[in-house]
């Protein structure tokens, strides 16, 4: 069975260690080209925090429905922050709590467990911190000057964190999240010890087995467009386990919704390559994807994706 590469990120959290950093960049570059996924260890996010986050999340999702519904999101907000359990063909057997950056007026937290808000806000802050490190590494993987992605994408107000809870599998249905691609630049995932996340490669589904202390990183649609397909957003899914629920968290390192997105000149004009995507407003794509997800689409190929903005080859 193919194994998703795992790298020790500690050299990037201190000065020096240039040889080790170059090896890590090479490993991540290859992983992004082959799978669109890799795992990181020694990333700086405290293990006691991630353990506590899984614990309070599990406690919340296993509480009575009436308690969870008190955390339903406010109406007419850009991202439905709060508890979500709505009919959705992609996530019929799972529950979510979405959180925007700490301090957002739209966040809604439960009263119990009482430490839920503090833990989630700290987890958000830690994920945001490590996401900036990952962004710098990906810039290097792509051969970009160090601050290109940071300066292009310096608005962190559109990042968000999701706590997810998947019900145990039934005899008739094991899928918890249907095959999909993320809209983000990249996503950071914290899994508990219960396996289920899989990535598709060459028509086969590869399990991304949980590792103690590890975080999973995957490329999203926005980075695929910016790099003109050098890094591609991988299709992935969640398979629910037998007899056990599954908890996980996903942090989405996004663009600003008001950003016009198109392939960067480093991957088009500067190397004499034609752009593969026409420019589009990022929040327009988010809205089209949201509308697409709300419909019961029978075929994956009928779902709105970034191919909607692809320029036909001549």
Q: What is the structure's pLDDT at 304? A: 79
Q: How many CB atoms lie within 10 A of CB 13?
A: 12
* 6-309 carries CATH number 2.60.120.330: yes
Q: Is the pLDDT of residue 131 over 50?
A: yes
The pLDDT of 166-182, averaged and rounded, is 82
Q: Is 254 helix (H, G, I), strand (E, B) or coil?
A: coil
At residue 132 the predicted structure's pLDDT band, cuts being 50, 70 and 90, is very high
Report pLDDT for 58: 94
Q: Indicate whether 87 pLDDT > 50.
A: no
Count other Cβ atoms within 10 Å, centred on residue 283. Answer: 15
- Please state the domain extents for the chain: 6-309
Q: What mean pLDDT is predicted for residues 297-307?
A: 69
Q: How far is CA 304 from the centre of its chain?
A: 18
Residue of 73, 76, 67, 75 whose CA lies nearest to 99 = 73
User: Rounded to an integer, what is the distance from CA 26 to the centroid of its chain?
Assistant: 22
Whole-number pLDDT of residue 296: 58
Instruction: Reply yes or no on whether the pLDDT at 177 is more than 60.
Output: yes
Distance CA(82)–CA(97), nearest Å, equals 5
State the burial class of residue 14 (Cβ atoms within 10 Å of its Cβ: 0-12, 13-18, 19+): exposed
Name the residue among 313, 299, 138, 130 with its Cα closest to residue 231.
Answer: 138
Q: Which residues pair with 164 in a beta bridge?
A: 96, 248
Per-residue pLDDT at 106: 92
Bridge partner residues of 189 (DSSP): 216, 250
Evaluate whether 187 touches 250 at the Cβ level (below 8 Å): yes
Q: Taking residues 170-180, what's their average pLDDT? A: 78
């Amino acid at each position: 069975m193919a194994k998703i590469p795992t790298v020790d990120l500690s050299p990037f959290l201190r000065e020096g260690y240039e040889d080790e950093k170059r090896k890590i960049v090479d490993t991540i570059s290859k992983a992004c080209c082959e799978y669109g996924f890799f795992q990181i260890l020694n990333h700086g996010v405290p293990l006691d925090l991630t353990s506590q986050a899984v614990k309070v999340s599990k406690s919340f999702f296993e509480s009575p429905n009436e308690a969870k519904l008190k955390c339903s999101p406010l109406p007419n907000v850009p991202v439905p922050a709060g508890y979500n359990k709505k009919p959705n063909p992609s996530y019929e057997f799972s529950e979510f709590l979405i959180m925007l950056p700490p301090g957002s007026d739209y966040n809604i937290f439960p009263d119990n467990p009482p430490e839920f808000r503090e833990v989630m806000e700290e987890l958000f802050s830690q994920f945001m911190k490590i996401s900036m490190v990952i962004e710098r590494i990906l810039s290097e993987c792509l051969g970009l000057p160090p601050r290109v992605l940071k300066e292009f994408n310096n608005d962190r107000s559109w990042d968000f964190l999701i706590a997810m809870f998947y019900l145990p599998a039934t005899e008739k249905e094991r899928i918890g999240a249907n095959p999909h691609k993320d809209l983000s630049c990249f996503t950071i995932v914290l899994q508990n010890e219960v396996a289920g996340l899989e990535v598709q490669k060459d028509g086969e589904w590869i399990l991304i087995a949980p590792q103690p202390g590890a975080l999973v990183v995957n490329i999203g649609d926005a980075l695929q467009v910016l790099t003109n397909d050098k890094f591609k957003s991988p299709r992935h899914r969640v398979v629910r386990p037998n007899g056990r629920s599954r908890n996980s968290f996903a942090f989405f390192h996004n663009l600003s919704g008001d950003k016009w997105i198109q392939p960067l000149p480093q991957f088009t004009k500067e190397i004499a390559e034609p752009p593969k995507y026409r420019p589009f407003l990022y929040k327009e794509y988010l809205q089209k994807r949201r509308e697409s997800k709300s419909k019961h689409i029978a075929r994956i190929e009928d779902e709105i994706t970034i191919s909607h903005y692809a320029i036909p080859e001549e």
